[in-house]
Amino acid sequence: MKMIHRNCPEHPEATLEGYILDCEITLGQEQNRPAIVVCPGGGYAYCSPREAEPVALRYAASGFHAFILRYSTGWDAADFSPLKEVSWVIGLLREKAEEWHIDPDKIVTCGFSAGGHLALAAGLLADNKPNAMILGYPAVNIPNFPGVNFMLQLLTGRKEVTDEDSAYFSLANHITENAPPVFLAATAEDLLTAFGTLPVIQKYSALGMPYEAHIFQHGPHGYALADATSADGSTEMLNEAFAQWHGLSVQWLHKLFGAPEHVEKNLSRMADHLAELGFYLPDGLI
């Protein structure tokens, strides 16, 4: 595995971390892989660690190149800087596609809560758009209600926000027939589902656009992987049912992009290395 780290040129506080899987021809892995760009949640106030590295590593273990965008937060998010940053990431992955063995037509944004808002915005508003999106309990529509409009304030950089701001940052208003395919996971008991997951489903359904959605009955907001990997010691963040979302998303990506190809090859390089050292093993031993 190769690890990379980049700072966003226009916003150095935003960083990209990547896990690029090995691609040795003798392992039959020379074909380019899809890439997942994980956008953690945190209300645009911070990037939640629980929704960052654990998720990226789980996708890497499933055979995807995986990246984490720690985008600008707080007042640095003004002028919707995170959207420019995720667009830069997608452009960088396509620019580096050959070097990093990425399929440039199989780039996916994956986000949670506010990160889900960003992952969806990438597919709807960015200059460089992903080919698909995975949204976990996304904050899609942002109402201009006192006490809950802090994301509007951070994204505009203004304490005084308007209903027009709410309309722009409420992303269901931007969904068209050109939107990328989307996978969604949420719980019915999460109050944000009514402002996030359901509006996306309704709009995609009305337009006849491809989507897959899983609404699990029980559980609060913010599950991440919903198992011990991301629970951070909290039993409240464990849910065996919701934890299925990741495997379901992988199956969905395989249906969307095609399952990885497997070829019949000798998987051992030991014989070649031993031959270089002057040792020769009997045929059939390896």
Q: What is the pLDDT of residues 179-222, one digit of tens each?
A: 999 999 999 999 889 889 999 999 999 999 999 999 999 999 99
For the cut 60, the answer to whether the pLDDT of residue 6 exceeds it is yes
Inter-CA distances, 8 with 43, 186, 210, Å: 20, 31, 32
Percent of the chain whose pLDDT exceeds 70? 93
If you compute the radius of gyration of the chain from its CA atoms, what whole number of angstroms results? 21
Task: Enumerate domains of the chain plus CATH numbers.
Answer: 2-276 (3.40.50.1820)
Identify the pLDDT of residue 115: 98
- Gap between the Cα atoms of 119 and 211, Å rounded: 15
Percent of the chain whose pLDDT exceeds 90? 80
Identify the pLDDT of residue 279: 85
Count of CA atoms in the C-beta half-sphere (13 A) of 143: 9
State the average pLDDT over residues 26-55. 89
What does DSSP say about strands 15-20 and 65-70: parallel, antiparallel, or unpaired? Answer: antiparallel
Identify the pLDDT of residue 178: 96
For the cut 70, the answer to whether the pLDDT of residue 23 exceeds it is no
